Structure 1
Amino acid sequence: MTLPIVFYLFSFVLGAVVGSFLNVCIYRLPTGESVVFPPSRCTSCGTRIRPWDNIPILSWLILRGACRACRAKISARYPLVELINGLLCLALFLKFGPTLTFAALFVFCSALVAISFIDLDHQIIPDVISLPGIVLGFVLSFFLPWLGWLNSLIGIAAGGGSLLLVAWLYERLTGKEGMGGGDIKLLAMMGAFLGWRAVPFIIFASSLVGSVIGLTLMMLQKKDSKLAIPFGPFLALGALLYIFFGKAIILWYLSIGAR
């Protein structure tokens, strides 16, 4: 069924608006601030941002990336987060249409966007996102026939348990902590939303992409293996690849093995 284009435009706008809220979460959650009060304000002069200066993407462009009051520069990350979330919402709507699956995965993907940018900045994955995410994913599994509560429950155990085992083995072999608890809870959340079958794919895809990017950065920066790279964004990328291309990639891989 083909829907009027206004529905697709609305999905992008919805994603961008939620992306604006994600910017607040990304900035405030690591510092323990409330994401509700006080209202959005300039981080340089403290001036409250008016509604007409808080329109996703457009306001940043109109203001040329600066605060109206003090003209301090506003990071391009703000419209970038809004754009990414808007495109994700549109892509999900194109794939799943106006369904509960779309709504559930939109919440999930928005959480991944916030987690990724927080992890990039602070090398932490806030429990305030991942732990409620595990519960929400499991609750939604009762209403999503393609997921199912047992699939979700096993996904939680497989996601959290697999990384916990890897972290334990690494620490036993090297005497160093190689993976934080945040990554373990994040993969458990992914298992809750996507089911246990997604877990091996996400681990493989995130490890592959993370290894390639990590080695590239080390060569460019001429640093050794102690270079710390947050793993959360790679897990998020693996989950997104599974949502949009997982079946196609798995079928392609199996077709190669069958030759």
Structure 2
Amino acid sequence: MDIAIILAVVFGLLIGSFLNVVIYRIPLILENMWNREAKLQLGMEVGEEPIFNLMVPPSRCGNCGSPVRPWQNVPIISWLILRGKCHTCKTPISIRYPLVELLTSVLFGVMAWQYGATIITVGACLFTAFVVALTFIDADTQLLPDQLTLPLIWLGLLFNLITGFIPLEQSVIGAVVGYMSLWTLFHVFKLLTGKEGMGYGDFKMLSAIGAWLGASILPIVVFAAALVGIIAFYAKRLSQGQPMAFGPCLAVAGWFVFLFYSSAGQALTWWLTKSGF
């Protein structure tokens, strides 16, 4: 097996472990911030609160409060050794923790298989880490936090500036078109129905994908995301009008288009040629 793939798989396990922290804590950080701002707006007294961020406090069991020791935090292996339970109180630990680690590891490995030992793989894995975190956060809370979407946009521009994966001007145009296309669709839908069909986080998510992959590929991303959304809608048996997060659909579509970027570009060119454009 290629050394690049092995390194990507191992590194993916470690990043996946950190992504579990990101997925769990960022919504709580936002909630704490919003509660604080609401109290200030209402003129309520706001006391000094304990520090809570991605690093502090150390991870603890949500039930008994016992700290997670280093040996209990080894990706996948610790969960298996502990049999999916807290070492102290035996409260079940969600299987999603090792699944996120495994998923991230596999996705990193696949990107390394596709792009080899190149800087493109480094960027592709960085993109993967962000979209994994955004997927699970949006699925849980229907939020796509600016703390992740905005850096993803800037990183996409920087990635193309450094690597030339696509021309920088296409990256900039992709970021603008990605945002404005969904922004326009949102307001047209709201004007016609009086309802909001998606959130502003979705605009930024597609903007980020455009920054990484360019404007020309966005039609394929949106089409693929719509297909994923339709499949998810029927798989989850959602009733009409029941909200469904669109961010995961964009994330899945964007990741696969990144993986098969050349093939996606060729498919789009073929379709445009057949359509007479």
TM-score clears 0.5? yes
Counterpart amino acid of residue 103 in structure 2: I
Q: What's the % identity of the aligned pairs?
A: 38
Alignment equivalent of 1:231, drawn from 246, 250, 259: 246
Larger deviation, residues 151-160 vs 194-203: 194-203
Q: Secondary structure at the match of 1:143?
A: helix
Alignment equivalent of 1:112, drawn from 114, 128, 131: 131
Aligned counterparts, 1:96-107, within 5 A = 96-107=115-126
* Offset at residue 213 of structure 1 (A): 2.4
Q: Confirm or deny: 8 A CA contact 2:5 2:116 kept in the other structure.
A: no
Q: Which position in structure 2 is the counterpart of 1:242? A: 257
Aligned counterparts, 1:45-84, within 5 A = 45-84=64-103
CA distance 1:149–1:83, change in 2 (3 Å): same
Counterpart amino acid of residue 74 in structure 1: I
Q: Secondary structure at the match of 2:11?
A: helix
Q: Which position in structure 1 is the counterpart of 2:38? A: none
* Offset at residue 40 of structure 1 (A): 1.9
Counting matched residue pairs gives: 252
Aligned counterparts, 1:12-23, within 5 A = 12-23=9-20
Q: Which position in structure 2 is the counterpart of 1:151? A: 170
Looking at structure 2, the residues matched to 128 and 256 of structure 1 have their Cα atoms a distance apart, in angstroms, of 36
* Offset at residue 217 of structure 1 (A): 3.2
Q: Which position in structure 2 is the counterpart of 1:142? A: 161
Alignment equivalent of 2:216, drawn from 192, 197, 205: 197
Counterpart amino acid of residue 75 in structure 1: S
Looking at structure 2, the residues matched to 140 and 9 of structure 1 have their Cα atoms a distance apart, in angstroms, of 23
Alignment equivalent of 1:210, drawn from 229, 251, 257: 229
Alignment equivalent of 1:25, drawn from 22, 27, 50: 22
TM superposition score normalised by structure 2: 0.85
Alignment equivalent of 2:112, drawn from 89, 93, 102: 93
Q: Secondary structure at the match of 1:230?
A: coil
Q: Secondary structure at the match of 1:226?
A: coil
Looking at structure 2, the residues matched to 105 and 79 of structure 1 have their Cα atoms a distance apart, in angstroms, of 22
- Which ranges of structure 2 fall in alignment gaps of 5 or more residues? 30-51
- Which ranges of structure 1 fall in alignment gaps of 5 or more residues? none
Following TM superposition, where does structure 1 have runs of at least 4 consecutive aligned residues deviating by more than 4 angstroms?
A: 249-253, 255-258
Q: Confirm or deny: 8 A CA contact 2:217 2:265 kept in the other structure.
A: no
